[in-house]
Amino acid sequence: MGSLTFQELILELQSFWGENGCVILQPLDLEVGAGTFHPATFLKALGPENWNSAYVQPSRRPQDGRYGDNPNRLQHYYQFQVVMKPSPADFQERYLDSLRRLGLDPLEHDVRFVEDNWESPTLGAWGLGWEVWLNGMEVSQFTYFQQAGGLECLPVTGEITYGIERLAMYLQDVDSVYDLVWSKTPTGTITYGDVFHQNEVEMSTFNFQQADVDHLFAYFEFCEKEAERLVSLELPLPAYEFVMKASHTFNLLDARHAISVTERQRYILRVRTLARLTAQGYVASRAKVGFPLADKDLAEAALKALAEESAT
Amino acid sequence: MSAHTVLFELGTEELPAGEYESMAKILANAVESGLEQQGLAMGEVRMFATARRLSVLIDNVQERADDTEQEVLGPPVAAARADDGSWTPAAIGFAKKQGMSPDELQIIGTEKGDRLGIRKITEGVLCADVLPEVVTQAVNSIPVSKRMRWGRERHEFLRPVQWLVLLYGAEVIEVSLFGLTSDRVSRGHRFHGHSFVAIPNANVYEATLREQFVIASVDERKTLIKNQISRLVSQDERVIVDENLLSEVTGLVEWPVALRGSFDKSFLSVPRQALISSMREHQKYFHIESPDGDLVPSFITISNIESTRPESVVYGNEKVIRPRLADAAFFFDTDKETTLASKALRLERVLFQRDLGTLAQKQARISDVAQLLSEQLGADKATIQAAGGLIKADLVSDMVGEFPELQGIAGRHYALHDGESEAIANAIEQHYWPKFSGDRLPDSPEAAALALADRLDTLIGIFGIGQVPTGSKDPFALRRASLAVIRILLAFAPSASLEMILTTAKQSFPSDVLDEGVVDTVKAYLLDRLPAHYEDQGVSVDILRSVTAVGTESVGDIDCRGLAVAQFAGSDAANALAAANKRVANILTKVDEALPAIDQGLLSEPAEVALHRALTESQAALDAAVANNDYPKALSNLAKLREPVDAFFDNVLVNADDASVRLNRLGLLKELRGQFLKVADLAVLAR
């Protein structure tokens, strides 16, 4: 089978979800641990406004680096993220169609939805759903958001996260991520290793050995203050950028083993507090303009609820 | 009257495999009892369930419930007419209340004579009319462990609800739930079946789904899976079909197809539990054993399709398990590069609990306490001391980091690798036993001493800092720890004093850390767990109370007395003596005076003389039986007191006018009560 190259896989997913009414966005230009952090998921999941989007998100997990030695673990990898709000009734079927588009026939391959509930302590978010198994391998995460930034989600955002390296490794039948064919060009085949191996080696070295702990601690404090300050100035979007930066800084400190077990909880709580503040600020700012992307009835209900809340 | 089959199917997105079956059971029961309450007779009730549907199918449900007749009684006939034959106001008033004239009333014969009245006929309900409400209430009664919303509405369930089928025979009955309206349209298997499938009649539900590659019956799928598994192994291979795993995989498929895959046999050098964990916990595979109990480098997975290329499914699964097993092998090899003793040093950096110190400190306390208790358990102190310094060391190993359920097991392997003795390796592994209720106990007294000390340390420590478990919150599993303490003591040190054991555990902590009263608190908590321990042995809460009311020295003593009372309870003699004890106890609590020794000269009534004689005769035999812990014999002795006691209460007035006679009789009762209290306070058992 002429299986898809890595870049073709991304392009197929983009066009598939584009055809399904999703706004195709480009990756966020900040370091984040998962596609969920992208404002197009986290912030858009808040409040009553509708939103459908899909995008690739480079995801950084400093702890997972293995200096390019492990065939399955990376400190920088890609997620393909789909969010649909409200979650459509045929969301699962659409997802299965996307697998068919990639050349995976569910009458040949065993596809299952296995219970898996998702929680992000730093974002104060949780949802219920599944991990999707392809012949026993987890290839996607499927979640119905119930809460984000400590706020109830209504309408509910349905989120699909594809682990695209895994899917590609399966489609291309390779055992090492570095052997993935990224693209076939007139001048030769470019592999994932060609593109990213050196990056994994150097970034692992940086994450585990060279990241400046004192500076990172100070920077975390700065991000925290900045996020609080910007929320108070009713600038939730820039504030949220500092939440993401604080979160990544925390991840780096964690990779440097600079945070003790008990301290760890406290740091997570600090980021969550910021995420909550920002979420509230974001909803307030959208309320000000009347939730323009929401169904009328839900916009009115949400505005009324906010008015009652501020009255008490 | 005709009858038809009722079908209700709640169609959902994939429900968690651990919950769908019990939800379907509750749904089926609730629909059944709902129809029953409406007076509708029915035949067999069946429950069906897959991850995508919860269904109930009931045969022969009456179309219309039988009419019921109700009598409304008015005044007696004698009071209904005045002397002149006219209706009395009572009769007129009753008739008016019923909306009729007195002449229309009937005469109804009752046990207390003829009465005026009416017979009202209530028409039976139509099944079709009541079904929507019955189904609605049944669905609302399904417990949902974690509720979620979906789409833009506020409906809540465990996963999104997709469709509803409600049929009475061939007729669609309309009900609206979760923003959906019922129809006859179900759905087939996700990949083999049709997206939409009309059920023409409720009684062909199962067959219609089967054509759509859905085996709706849970039991049938389980049986299918078991049969398929046995076809995949050779005659001399064995598959232990773990019931929990079987239930789980049954919940993940509508059309089960078992497939066998394999892995490289070089992985077999890794502890089998790690391999089994990798396969079972992560991949939900069944493992295969050779005749001598060794693992075979194969696995069985249950897929949900009849694949056009089954080898693709097998190949994919083999590709997934390989890196997982490679991880386990890697951890095992790296762990063996350092000794357990050196790992134990790293426990100093692992917190057990903020106020209770590190795991190193906990381990040291466990070792000390186990050594102090060694004599009580008949254990070898030197072995305990040697194992005690290592029991928690594997918690910092990579293997246990990845597979927490391997705690103890990994330690055992590493100990043997380090050249430690089998006894030490055993103690390391088994100090975690029993791991759950009903699990086996440690084999050796040394392992038992460490297992006991570990639980005592947690109980005394956590209670000592005031973190009492509440209702559903028991993060340190103190309930389970208590039950383990009871079981270990019963098996290894039944006569050991609870007070002494708990005090020993307490003294291993620094003096200022724990609440002063912690020994009493934990003792009370342990005693409160007794009913759970005895649940299956027919020893009720009341029996345990009757026993602990008179002594809580050791669990062995409580056990002997509890079992004896349980055997005794329920007999006529027991009921009578329980009542007598309660009566005596009530009488004695009201007595303020000190009671003198019994003066035989003051005994005058034959019944009190007889009781006194019976008590005197019983005393020696009772004392001997109690001294031998032969409580059944003690109780059968006490049972002989029944007749004299009954006769005493029937014939003797305790509150005699003569104060000295009264006090003498009270003294007699006190003596009686005292004899019983040597075994148990039977008054607790009185109804």
pLDDT over 50 (residue A1) = no
CA distance B223 to chain A (A): 21
- Compute the C-alpha angle B406/B374/B426, nearest 5°: 25
d(CA A96, CA B127): 40
d(CA B282, CA B403): 10
d(CA B507, CA B496): 17
- The number of beta carbons lying within 10 Å of the beta carbon of residue B276 is 21
Q: Give per-residue pLDDT as tens, B503-534.
A: 999 999 998 899 999 999 999 999 999 999 99
pLDDT at B1: 63
Residue in A136, A164, A99 with CA at minimum distance from that of residue B320: A136
Which segment of A298-302, B125-129, B240-244, B309-313 scores lowest on mean pLDDT?
B240-244
Which B residues, 638 through 657, put their C-beta within 8 Å of a C-beta on chain A? none
Query: Which of A109, A113, A153 lies nearest to residue B14, judging by beta carbons?
Result: A113
Q: Give per-residue pLDDT as tens, B24-61.
A: 999 999 999 999 999 999 999 999 999 999 999 999 99
Q: What is the mean predicted confidence (pLDDT) over B433-460?
A: 96
pLDDT at B686: 86
Contact between residue B252 and residue B17 where contact means Cβ atoms under 8 Å apart:
yes
Question: Would you call B14 and A109 a contact, using CB atoms and an 8 Å cutoff?
Answer: no
The reply to whether A205 touches chain B by the CB within 8 Å rule is: no
* Cis peptide bond N-terminal to B143, omega within 30: no
More confident residue, B85 or B205: B205
- The highest-confidence range among A250-264, B72-86, B453-467, by mean pLDDT, is B453-467
What is the complex's ipTM, to 2 decimals? 0.95
- Chain B residues lying within 8 Å of A105, measured CB to CB: 308
Distances (CA, A) of B334 to A284, B131, B282, B397: 53, 64, 22, 9
pLDDT confidence tier of residue A43, bands split at 50, 70 and 90: very high
Chain mean pLDDT for chain B: 93
d(CA B663, CA B514): 48
Contact between residue B426 and residue B419 where contact means Cβ atoms under 8 Å apart:
no
Question: Would you call B305 and A87 a contact, using CB atoms and an 8 Å cutoff?
Answer: no
The reply to whether B18 touches chain A by the CB within 8 Å rule is: yes
More confident residue, B591 or A111: A111
Which segment of A88-102, A222-236, B84-98, B375-389 scores lowest on mean pLDDT?
B84-98
DSSP per residue, B505-550: HHHTS-TTTS-TTHHHHHHHHHHHHHHHHHGGGT--HHHHHHHHTT
pLDDT over 90 (residue B131) = yes
Contact between residue B8 and residue B165 where contact means Cβ atoms under 8 Å apart:
yes
pLDDT over 50 (residue A284) = yes
pLDDT at A2: 64
Of chain B, the percentage scoring pLDDT greater than 90 comes to 76
CA distance A115 to chain B (A): 5
What is the biggest distance separating any 2 CA atoms in chain B, rounded to whole angstroms?
A: 114
Q: What is the mean predicted confidence (pLDDT) over B342-347?
A: 94
Q: Give per-residue pLDDT as tens, B92-115.
A: 898 898 888 888 888 888 888 888
Token pair in block for residue B449: 């001493």
- Chain A residues lying within 8 Å of B191, measured CB to CB: 106-107, 111
Q: Give per-residue pLDDT as tens, B632-669.
A: 999 999 999 999 999 999 999 888 889 899 999 999 99
Nearest residue of chain B to residue A49 (CA atoms): B152
pLDDT at B270: 92
Residue in A142, A205, A193, A188 with CA at minimum distance from that of residue A165: A193
pLDDT confidence tier of residue A262, bands split at 50, 70 and 90: low
A128: left (phi over 0), alpha (psi -120 to 50) or beta: beta
Residue B556: strand, helix, or coil: helix
Which segment of A29-33, A195-199, B345-349 scores lowest on mean pLDDT?
B345-349
Q: What is the mean predicted confidence (pLDDT) over A243-272?
A: 90
pLDDT over 80 (residue A135) = yes
